[in-house]
Chains A and B, each alone.
Chain A
Amino acid sequence: KAGVTQTPRYLIKTRGQQVTLSCSPISGHRSVSWYQQTPGQGLQFLFEYFSETQRNKGNFPGRFSGRQFSNSRSEMNVSTLELGDSALYLCASRGGQVNTEAFFGQGTRLTVV
C-alpha cells in the first residue's frame, strides 16, 4: 500500500505570492489533516477534512485555506505569503474516526524569501 504522498517536496516563493500544496492520502483513508512545523512553534494543527468537509480548523489566519476532493486528495493554499510562513508542511491521513493511527507524508518544505 502506498503511503501518504505530498508534492512538491520543496518550494521557494517570494513574499506576497500564493502557494498550493498537495496531499494524496493512503488509499481508502478519508481523513486528511494538515500541520505546520517550525523551529519556534513546533507542530501546529492547521485543519482537517473528512469526506470533503472541513471538520476542524486550527488558529491560523484566513490566508491559510484548504479543500478535499472526492478522491480524498487534499490541497492547502496559502495566499499573500509572509516570511513567517516558511516551514515544513505535513499532511496526515487516517482510516477511521476514532482511535486510529495518523500516518504522515514526507512534508513540503516551503521557504519564503
Chain B
Amino acid sequence: SQQGEEDPQALSIQEGENATMNCSYKTSINNLQWYRQNSGRGLVHLILIRSNEREKHSGRLRVTLDTSKKSSSLLITASRAADTASYFCATDKDDSWGKLQFGAGTQVVVTP
C-alpha cells in the first residue's frame, strides 16, 4: 500500500506558469521528500522537509508541510519545458529503517 497520494495525477501547463501538486499521507512521519523522474529514469531528489518544518525553498521550488492535515504541496514557479517529468512524494517514518513510502506521482507536462 502507498502512504502518499498525489493530486492531481496529471497537470498540463505552459512555460512561465506555476505548477502546484499536493501529497496526502496517512500516518505520522519523520520527514517528507519530493523527487522528480524523467521518462523512466532514476529519481532526482528535490527537497526534504522535516516534520517540524512548515516550508522550504530551493530555487524555483517551494514545499510546504501541514502535519495536522497530513499533507504537503510542491510549487514550481515559472515552469520551463525542462520541468516536464513525474513528481513523487515519499514519506519517511521513525521506525521505517530506510523504507520510503511513495505516492503514485503527478505527471507534469510543460509546453513551450
A-B pairs with beta carbons under 8 A, tally = 68
Q: CA A61 – CA B90 in complex, angstroms?
A: 23
When A42-B2, A42-B104, A98-B30 are in contact, do A33 and B41 touch as well, CB less than 8 Å? Answer: no
Task: Give B31 Cβ to nearest chain A Cβ, in Å.
Answer: 5
Q: Contact: B33 with A101, CB < 8 Å?
A: yes
Q: CA A102 – CA B99 in complex, angstroms?
A: 10
**Interface size range of chain B in the complex:** 20 to 34
B44, B50, B88, B92: the one contacting A43 at CB < 8 Å is B88
Task: Give A50 Cβ to nearest chain B Cβ, in Å.
Answer: 7
A residues engaging B (CB < 8 A)? 4, 6, 31, 33, 35, 42-43, 45, 48-50, 55-56, 58, 88, 90, 92, 94, 98-107, 109
B residues engaging A (CB < 8 A)? 2, 30-31, 33, 35, 40-45, 48, 50, 88, 90, 92, 94, 96-105
